[in-house]
Amino acid sequence: MSTLLLQFHSAQYSDSTNYHILLSSTGSINKTNDTRAYLLNNSLNFGLKKKTIVLNTSNTWLYGKQNNEVSNNDFSSTLNFNLYKSFKDFYYWGLLNYNTSFSLKINHQLLAGLGIAYSIIDKENTYINMSNGLLYDKSNLLADQIYDTYRNSFRFQFHFAIKETISIDGSNFIQSAFGNRHDYIIRSNTAWA
C-alpha cells in the first residue's frame, strides 16, 4: 500500500549528541468476491546517544479488519536506557515495556525495571557484561487472568570477534520471581557468524 520512512542523524558521537528517528507505515488491502481485508502496520522509533546516556524508544500499532470485523488492534511501546554516570565500567539501566493486543487477547501487559551493569571487558573485539536488577511484571488478559509479580533479572552478555571473520554473540537471562521458586524465565540466545 504505502511506506513512509524518515531518518535524521546528527554529527559525530565524539563531539555532540546523536539522534535517530524512524517513522514507518505499511499496509495491505485484499479484496476477493466475498472477502475484504486490510492491515496497517505503523511504527515510530527514536534514539538518543550521548557520552552519559543511551536512550531508545519503539512504538508500534497494528490495525486490521476482515469483512468489517476488527482482526487486529495491537499496540506496543518500549523505552530502554543506559546511564553512564557512576564508577568506571559500571552503568545503570532501565526499561519500560507496555503492550495491549486484541489479536492475542491481552488487555494490558507491563514490564518495568531498573538495575546496574558492569562491563568486565569492553574492547572492539571482546565484550563481556553482567547486569542485575529488579523487574515488575503485570499482565491482564481478556480471559480475566491477572498476573502480578516482582522479579530479579540477571543477564550475562558477550561478544567475541576473531580476526574479523568469526563473530560469537550471546545474551542470557534468568529472571526469578520473588517468593515463588517455581516462577522463573530463562532465555538464552547465542549466534555464530
Residues 161-173 have pLDDT tens digits of 988 789 999 999 9
pLDDT tens string 71-92: 999 999 999 999 998 788 899 9
Q: Residue 65: its pLDDT value, please?
A: 94
Residues 130 and 175 occupy one common structural domain: yes
Please check whether residues 29 and 122 belong to one and the same domain: no
Residue 125 lies in a domain: yes
pLDDT at residue number 8 = 43
Q: Which domain-ending residue is among 76, 106, 140? A: 76
Band (17; pLDDT cuts 50, 70, 90)? low
CB 130 within 8 A of CB 120: yes
Phi-psi label, residue 163: left if phi above 0, alpha if psi -120 to 50, beta otherwise: left
**168, 146 contact by CB (below 8 A):** no
Residue 173 inside a domain? The answer is: yes
Q: Do the domain assignments include residue 81?
A: no
Give the least confident one: 15-24, 64-73, 110-119, 132-141.
15-24
- The residue among 12 and 172 whose pLDDT is bigger is 172
Domain ranges, residue 97: 86-193
Of the candidate ranges 112-116, 129-133, 139-143, the one whose mean pLDDT is the lowest:
139-143
Residue 48 confidence (pLDDT): 95
HEC string of 34-51? CCEEEEEEEEEEEEEECC
Domain co-membership, 90 together with 185? yes
- At residue 34, the pLDDT reads 87
Where among 28, 54, 76 does a domain terminate?
Answer: 76
**Which helix (H) or strand (E) segment is 158 a member of?**
strand 146-162
Name the domain count of the chain: 2
Q: How confident is the model at residue 1 (pLDDT cuts 50, 70, 90)?
A: very low
Q: How far apart are CA 97 and CA 83, in angstroms?
A: 18
pLDDT at residue 142 in the model? 72
Establish if 122 belongs to a structural domain. yes
Q: Both 110 and 131 in a single domain?
A: yes
The answer on 131 and 112 residing in a single domain is yes
- Whether 72 and 91 map to the same domain: the answer is no
Average of pLDDT values for 87-109?
A: 92
Contact at 8 Å (CB) between 150 and 144? no
Kindly tell me if the per-residue pLDDT of 15 is higher than 80: no
Same domain, 183 and 103: yes
**Residues 6 or more apart from 74 whose CB is under 8 A from it?**
60, 61, 62, 63, 99, 100, 101, 102, 103, 104
| Domain boundary residue, one of 46, 76, 106 | 76
Tell me, yes or no, whether 108 lies in a domain: yes
Do 141 and 167 fall into the same domain?
yes
What integer pLDDT is reported at residue 145 of this predicted model? 81
111 and 193 inside one domain: yes
Q: Are residues 191 and 140 in the same domain?
A: yes
Same domain for 127 and 180, yes or no, is yes
**pLDDT number for residue 6:** 43
